Amino acid sequence: MKEYIISENLVVCSEYKIAEDPQFWEYLQSEDLQNFLQEIDNDILIVIWWDGSMLEAVASYYPKRRKFFGINYGNKWFLLHPQSVLKISSPKLISRKYPLISLRDDSSLHYAFNELDIKAWDGKMLDMKLQVHSNHSLNILWDGLLISTPAGSTWYNSSLWGPILSHDLNSYIITPKASWKPRNLESIILSNSQTLELSTSGRENTCEIYADWRLSASYDAHIDLEIKILEEEIELYIEQSYLRSWDDKILVEQGFSQS
């Protein structure tokens, strides 16, 4: 997606919405939105459209900018506010910190807000060694793995039957995809202070790595990867009156009904 900078602190990560939806352009010029922008500090970047726009904005602006506020204009908005937030006069914003997960190889660093997706590329299963600290290791033959933050636990991770975590937990998740050896391997939860090392072993492995759906790297030989939580966090700002519903989203995703 291509981002469009509308003003100093307003960005839209959607080429389609700008080019194809005249009502959306009118919305960007609306009095409600302009008044709301005047109430928000300029160091907070306002992101409009859907959750994917927020992920795209983080990828485009981090680490230069680390403070974000989202407003929904699409269908998916787990990380965004409904449009009704614009009706609030003198909004009060509360900061919530979210970690980024990083992957480092021999020459580059990649990071993601939601997840890192490691996929077997050529139809062969990946023969990999996972190591935490120097004395805990696990050899696995599988189609790949998904490494998710708590914020990403409700996305692809949940469709792989991985656990859903509250956003304030200092943990991340390793969820296997079609694990062959060992069979029926379940998700592994690590604390933010634990670093995961991945290496291929045995036969030649070919894999691709996606960071929040963006193809970030591909390998066709032996690899050594380091995965950990970055110390520099992202701040998502939440309007005070939406805090309860924001936190309840995790329960709703797990089937709880709201009364």
At 19-35, the pLDDT tens digits run 677 788 888 888 999 89
Q: Give the closest residue to 24 by CA, choosing from 35, 38, 10.
A: 10
Q: Which domains does the chain have, with CATH numbers?
A: 3-99+233-253 (3.40.50), 101-229 (2.60.200.30)
The pLDDT of residue 6 is 57
Distance CA 162, CA 171 (A): 13
* pLDDT band per the 50, 70, 90 thresholds, residue 16: low
Q: Among all residues, which ones are annotated catalytic?
A: 51
Distance CA 158, CA 88 (A): 34
In the chain, what are the helix, strand and coil shares in percent, each to the nearest 5?
A: 25, 40, 40
The pLDDT of residue 203 is 61
Distance CA 10, CA 39 (A): 13
Q: Give the closest residue to 218 by CA, choosing from 228, 227, 229, 206.
A: 206
Q: What is the mean pLDDT of residues 198-208?
A: 77
Q: What is the mean pLDDT of residues 224-249?
A: 90
Residue 205 has pLDDT above 80, yes or no: no
Torsion of CA 183, 166, 96, 70, to 10 degrees: 80
Helix (H) or strand (E) holding 249: helix 243-253
How do strand 188-191 and strand 171-177 relate by DSSP bridges? antiparallel
Q: What is the mean pLDDT of residues 180-198?
A: 92
The pLDDT of residue 1 is 46
- pTM value is 0.86
At 65-116, the pLDDT tens digits run 899 999 988 666 788 999 899 999 899 999 999 999 999 998 899 999 999 9
* pLDDT band per the 50, 70, 90 thresholds, residue 244: confident
Q: What is the mean pLDDT of residues 190-200?
A: 92
pLDDT > 70 fraction of the chain, expressed in percent and rounded: 91
Residue 239 has pLDDT above 80, yes or no: yes
Distance CA 90, CA 94 (A): 13
* DSSP tag of 164: P
3-state secondary structure of 207: strand
* Residue 238, φ and ψ in degrees, nearest 5: -125, 130
